[in-house]
Amino acid sequence: MNFFLETLQVLLLSLWYNVEAFVHLFIPASRKNVAGEVVLITGAGSGIGRLMALEFAGLGTALVLWDINQEGMKETARLAKERGAIRVHYYLCDCSDKTEVYRVADQVKREVGDVSILVNNAGIVTGKKFMDAPDSLIEKTMEVNTMAHFWTYKAFLPAMMANNHGHLVSIASTAGLIGVNGLADYCASKFAAVGFAESVGLEMLASGKDGVKTTIVCPYFINTGMFDGCQTKWPRLMPILNPDYVVKKIIQAILTDQVYLLMPKSMYLITGLKNILPMKQGILLGQYLGAFNLMDSFKGRSKKQE
C-alpha cells in the first residue's frame, strides 16, 4: 500500500472511530454473554476479588477462586453459590510463588477445564517510603503485583489463543499511571502490570488472536481496607471509591470489551495532563491534588480484615 492510500485509510478510520466513541457516550455498547465461561479470580478471599466473584456468579459462570486465605475463599464460595454460580472451585495459591502458580494452574486445568476469563486481582502494599521498606517487602510487592501476572498468563493464555477466545483482566491502579509519594514499590509494580497487559494485548492483535480481549483497570483508592488511613485532599474530584461501584464498573467494562477503565473519571483528565504539561507545572498540580501527602496517615489493612 502506498503512502497516500495508507494515510487516507488512517484518516478515514480515525474519523469513524471517533464518531463511534461519541455515539457510545449516549448509546451503551452491547454486553456479551459470559454464561458458562470459566472465570478465575486471584485474591478472591475478600475485598474486590470477592465482590467480582459474586457479580460473575450472578451471570451464570463457573468460578475458580485463588487466595492464600482459606477461610475467606470458603465464604466467597458459599456466597457465590447462593448467587447462582454454576460451579465454584477454590484453591490455596500463593501467587508470588511461580512454582505454586504453575502447580495449581495444572490442577485447575485437570479438575475444571480451560480458564476463559482470567482476573489478576491479588495485590499487596507495603505503605512505606522507599528507603524504609525492607528488601523482602519490595520483592514481595513485585512478585504479587507484577510477576504473578506473568505466570498466570503463561499458564492459561495458550488455551485462549488456541480457541481465539478469552479475556485477560488486570486490576492495576492509577498508581500505575502516576507516581505517588510513599508508594515507590507499589507504583513500580503497577506501572509494570499496566505495561505488561498492554503489550500482551497488542501481541494478541498482531498475531490475529482478536478474540482474546484485554481489560486494564486503574482505580484510585478503594475503601476495602487496603489503604485504610489514606486521605484524599479533594474528595469531590478524587473520592475514595466505593467497592460495589468499582466492581459494577469493572464487570461492565469486561462485558463490553473495554480496554482501559480509569476511576474516577477525573483520572482520564489528570493522567492526560501529566503527559503534556511542563514538569514544574505537573509537580505543582500534583501538590495541589495532594499527591505528596496521600500516604501520610496510612494504616493499611488490619490482621482481622485480612
CA distance 224 to 244: 10
The C-alpha cell at 253 is: 467494562
Sign of CA dihedral 110, 48, 198, 134: negative
288 is catalytic: no
Closest listed residue to residue 49, CA positions, set 31, 70, 66: 66
Nearest-Å Rg of the Cα atoms of the chain is: 20
Closest CA to 153 of 136, 131, 170: 170
Cβ atoms < 10 Å from Cβ of 129: 13
Element of type H or E holding 11: helix 3-24
Q: Residues 186, 260, 268, 288: which is the catalytic one?
A: 186
Question: Which residues face 117 on adjacent strands?
Answer: 39, 167
The residues annotated with a catalytic role in the active site are 186
